[in-house]
Chains A and B, each alone.
Chain A
């Protein structure tokens, strides 16, 4: 890969992104073997630096690094020097001194991985920074779409929900655009950023108008506290206007798939019947996460394929 860090999905060229997806497929094939381990990153150190609780993402990165035989250090903010007030810079210098080859960072502040990349020599992988980006989530979503539809180019993808606060949406818009999909963002106007017109995506306020034409519908988590801040009047109204329930599922083309990055609010943005339906790829997404993260670590640390 041409890039040293993975800070934003926009860092990835089309060739890089396809290399990740192709490599992930090989990694997934290996997961079926009896010995699930590759020696590629033996002797290399990968640090999981998590300033937010995220069991799902952390375990996924941990499994990925271990299957590549890397030494993994988990560093969570709670109960560490960070909770004693250590700055990000000092933590970075500590990791640097330990010889971290890669730092996987999850942080509540947008741009924290960019700051970190200025302070460590190793590769920095953004595992979610505030309301900015979550590039490996976009890669695993792209992988999932490709494995279901056989391609990404030309597909119509609707991303529905709290786009304003969603790092998943930002990364997906970049990556899907790079890979030639056509994205429509669907949300109440309050949950779209003011500058959204500059994004390579269409915008709609009406879910029902968009659904019949899509190949993929990606539902975003809506946090309950958005309601108290008047982004929408009530959970019920949100669910009625922007939630994916069985009625709406029936309105989708028969080949269309339903995605969600998790964790879900069942009954709010997605009904339990839809989440558990055959159209849903939610569990698959989780499984694909490990293969995709293996591919990213492999390509960033292990050199060109």
Chain B
């Protein structure tokens, strides 16, 4: 029997203070918990901390196998736990590509061994991310990894016929295609958002239409074949409009936005520091405003990090030669608290960062703590009882300054270096076992 934990004085979803008893992997009791009930439990003073269901990341690059110098399943898992995550979806663009049952099972197993978060591999849509032939999606679905989400992320499945087939095919096992929406001909050599800043900096532009054109096409394809579509890292106001239209029309589409697209703009490219180079690129303030609004009204379902570690030499170079991508796992919640708490509230953050992504990825044991189905905290007590104890505790007032050298990720490419953020993860529990305590990883 695993150790029990009594969390004293937590504010579930920001509500009134209560105690939580975690035992045998579930939330065993909620409310005022007497000594008899909590017998043998280790007491965690959680006074004033906000309890959220463990966060779920739909979009993580763990780099293993292939680029273990940038990140490993273990180091990425640790970064995730420290960021309040209990599950991450590991993208397929590893080397070798996660396009076979063998590779997804390897990643799945490494995740289990690390034991810090549930690592759910995402399978590639096409062989080698080549955009030519479907990978063995069914074999990956049936594997021990139980893959349900497929993505060529980093590359767009741009052939409309192939995209149609992929959307159709995965219906057989309730899969979903997560599209990296980027029309490749429109983004050839692209280095940053195409607009006023790119014109001045002389960097080839990545036009918003390259994303929007693919999303428009894909929602129509999804409607035509009655399939589910998920859109990765939505970055433009125009994409939001198309998604809003598609959802109103009843098309089964979900979408994610990254923390960096909720906060940063293309102005950051001035100075040419490639730590701000990312794909899709940082856009304009009006895009940021539209993305925030869409996250509040539900047009965008989830926040996903697109955590993309890169070795130092791949960022300490000329902008055009740098790899796109930025770290996200350890800062995502703080960025969302900083930018969105006023408009989303704690329950909204739980929905966008845990429940919705868990639903999209089909991770049934996640996003359940404090979910309405397990009884909302009514009058402070009642029962979140019985839900899997995947949760995280956040100090909502804590201020901290991002220091790249103190991140758990193997890479240092955070765009928030030196920035003061609000809200810090104090503890994370995976099936009742602490992966983070006192702000430190337990393993």
A binds B: yes
**Is residue B316 within 8 Å, beta carbon to beta carbon, of the partner chain?**
yes
Which residue of B191, B201, B205, B318 is within 8 Å of A88 (Cβ)?
B318
Say whether, besides A88-B317, A89-B316, A195-B197, A114 and B202 are in contact (CB < 8 Å).
no
Could you say which of A125-133, A152-160, A247-255, A295-303 contacts chain B? A125-133
B196 at the interface (CB under 8 A from A): yes
Are A87 and B200 in contact, with the CB atoms below 8 A? Answer: no
Query: Roughly how many angstroms separate A166 CA and B199 CA in the complex, as a whole number?
Result: 11
Known A114-B271, A115-B272, A194-B205; contact A107-B318, beta-carbon cutoff 8 A: yes
B173 within 8 A of A: no
Residues in B199-250 with C-beta less than 8 Å from chain A: 199-205, 207
Contact with B along A58-97 (1 / 0, CB 8 A): 0000000000000000000000000000011100000000
Are A110's CB and B205's CB within 8 A?
no
> Contact at B318–A196, with CB atoms within 8 Å?
no
Known A87-B317, A115-B318: A195·B202 in contact at CB below 8 Å: no
B275 to chain A, nearest CB (A): 12
A74 to B313, CA, bound (A): 26
Interface string of A135-173 (1 = CB under 8 A from B): 000000000000000000000000000000001001000
A193 contacts B318, CB within 8 Å? no
User: Judging by beta carbons under 8 Å apart, are A110 and B199 in contact?
Assistant: no
**Digit string of A196-217 for contact with B (CB within 8 Å is 1, else 0)?**
1111000000000000000000
- Chain B residue nearest to A129 (CB atoms) is B202
Residues of A within 8 A of B318 (CB): 88, 107, 109, 111-112, 115
A225: shortest Cβ distance to chain B, in Å?
Answer: 13
- Mark contacts of B292-324 with chain A using CB atoms, 8 A cut-off: 1 yes-contact digit, 0 otherwise: 000000000000000000000100111111000
List A contacts of B317 (CB < 8 A).
87-89, 115
Distance from B2 Cβ to chain A, minimum over Cβ atoms (Å):
49
Q: Which residues of A contact B207 (CB under 8 A)?
A: 194
- Answer yes or no: B198 CB below 8 A from chain A CBs: yes
Closest to A229 in B: B188
Whether the pair A110, B201 counts as a contact (CB closer than 8 A) is yes
Bound state CA distance, A115 and B277, in angstroms?
14
A110-B203, A130-B202 known; A194 vs B320 contact (CB < 8 Å): no
Per the bound structure, the CA–CA distance linking A132 and B197 in Å amounts to 11
CB of B186 to closest CB in A, whole Å: 12
For B196, the chain A residues whose CB sits under 8 A away are 195, 197-198
- The answer to whether A133 touches B202 (Cβ under 8 A) is yes
Q: Is the CB of B202 within 8 A of A170?
A: yes
Q: In the bound complex, do residue B319 and residue A109 qualify as a contact, i.e. CB atoms below 8 Å apart? A: yes
Cβ of A111 and Cβ of B200 under 8 Å apart?
Answer: no
Asked if A131 and B194 make an inter-chain contact with CB atoms under 8 angstroms apart, the answer reads no
B202 touching A167, Cβ below 8 Å: yes
Do B200 and A110 touch (CB < 8 A)?
no
| Bound-complex Cα distance A87 to B191 (A) | 19
Chain A nearest Cβ from B187, distance in angstroms: 13
State which of A107, A109, A112, A199 has its C-beta within 8 Å of the C-beta of B199: A199
Q: Point out the residues of chain A lying under 8 angstroms from B203, CB to CB.
A: 110-111, 130-132
Which residues does chain B contribute within 8 Å of A196, judged by CB atoms?
A: 199
Alpha-carbon distance A130/B320, docked complex (angstroms): 10
Q: Is A193 within 8 A of B272, CB to CB?
A: no
CB distance from A159 to the nearest CB of B (A): 14
In Å, the complex CA distance between A89 and B322 comes to: 13
- Taking the closest CB of chain A, its distance from the CB of B418, in whole angstroms, is 15
Whether a CB of chain A sits under 8 angstroms from the CB of B195 is yes
- Shortest CB-to-CB span from A196 to chain B, Å, is 6
- Closest CB-CB distance, A231 to chain B, in whole Å? 13
A303 to B92, CA, bound (A): 56
Residue contact B316 to A110, C-beta cutoff 8 Å: no
Which residue of chain A has the shortest Cβ distance to B205 in the bound complex? A194
CA distance A88 to B272 in the complex (A): 14
The residue among B196, B273, B313, B318 with the most chain A CB atoms within 10 A of its own CB is: B318
- Contacts A170-B200, A193-B198, A195-B196 given: A111-B319 contact, CB under 8 Å? yes
CB-defined interface of A106-126 with B at 8 Å, one 1/0 digit per residue? 010111101100000000000
- Contact (A110, B319) CB under 8 Å given A115-B272, A129-B202, A194-B205: yes
Q: A87-B316, A167-B202 are in contact. Are A109 and B197 (CB under 8 A)?
A: no
B202/A110 in contact, CB under 8 A: yes
Bound state CA distance, A176 and B96, in angstroms? 53
Residues of B within 8 A of A133 (CB): 202
Binary flags per residue of B272-293, CB closer than 8 Å to A gives 1, else 0:
1100000000000000000000
Give Cα distance in the complex from A114 to B199, angstroms.
Answer: 17
* Residue numbers in B under 8 Å from A131 (CB-CB): 202-204
Chain B residues with CB below 8 A from A129, complex form: 202
**CB-defined contacts of B313 to chain A, threshold 8 Å:** 87
Name the B residues within 8 Å of A197 (CB-CB): 196
Complex A-B: 29 CB contacts under 8 Å? A87-B313, A88-B317, A107-B318, A109-B318, A109-B319, A109-B320, A109-B321, A111-B201, A111-B272, A111-B320, A112-B318, A114-B271, A115-B273, A115-B319, A129-B202, A130-B202, A130-B203, A130-B320, A131-B204, A132-B202, A167-B202, A170-B200, A193-B198, A195-B195, A195-B197, A196-B199, A198-B196, A198-B199, A199-B199
Q: A109-B321, A111-B318 are in contact. List 13 more A-B contacts (CB 8 A).
A: A87-B313, A89-B317, A107-B318, A110-B201, A110-B272, A111-B319, A114-B271, A132-B202, A194-B199, A194-B205, A194-B207, A195-B199, A199-B200
Q: Report, nearest first, the 3 A-B pairs whose CB atoms are least far apart.
A: A111-B272, A132-B202, A195-B199
